[in-house]
Amino acid sequence: MNLMAQTNFRGDHHQRGAVLVVGLIMLVVITLFVISMIKTSSIELKIGGISHIEALNFSNADLALNNFISLNNGQFAPGFLSIPAGSPGSPLGCSLPTCGSSNPPTVFGGSVTVIPVQLACGNDTSNGMQMGAGGLQVVQFDISSTATQQLGGSTTLHAGVQTSVLSCL
């Protein structure tokens, strides 16, 4: 038995750490792979966060546009925006989340400003003919809504409103 132990010892003695070198090379390769995956994951996490903020901004701006249009439904007329605030018929729009209505919509993580602008008032040519000298006229508004997040970024949406009126005076 003693002779066999010496023979095995002499055979192992000639390898001199080849397994150690191969193991260290594999460890370095795996470490580089892990570092690369961590960098990729952090970039994807940033992209996901930015997409989330953009989606919130878009949702908040859309909510504000819909809220302004529904609050002022039926009031869009020539000179509507020049009526002093608080007077009958004046615009009921406001900056969210602090709205003048009793039940303002909730804005998530930011604020929204709505700015309506009267674009034009003139003859309605959409039907191809007028109804005599006093035919219908239309007034057109551009309503822009800008949502800004506390974390940064903003989104602006525009909506057009056209209302038939009897006169543009």
pLDDT digits (tens, 9 = 90+) for 96-113: 444 444 445 567 778 888
What pLDDT, on the 0 to 100 scale, is given for residue 106?
65
Other beta carbons less than 10 A from residue 64's beta carbon: 28
Write the pLDDT tens digit of every residue in 50-98: 898 898 899 888 988 888 888 888 788 888 788 776 666 667 655 444 4
Write the pLDDT tens digit of every residue in 65-77: 888 888 888 788 8
What is the C-alpha end-to-end distance of the chain, expressed in Å?
118
Contacts of 59 (CB under 8 A, 6+ apart): 108, 147
In angstroms, rounded to a whole number, what is the distance separating the alpha carbons of residues 138 and 168?
8
pLDDT, averaged across the chain? 78
Question: 164: which 2 tokens?
Answer: 């038939």
Residue range of the domain that includes 41: 2-165
pTM: 0.65
What pLDDT, on the 0 to 100 scale, is given for residue 64?
86
Q: What angle do CA 107, 116, 112 make, to 5 degrees?
A: 15
Tally of domains within the chain: 1
In angstroms, rounded to a whole number, what is the distance separating the alpha carbons of residues 105 and 114?
14
Find out whether 104 and 144 touch, Cβ atoms under 8 Å. Answer: no
C-alpha gyration radius of the chain: 35
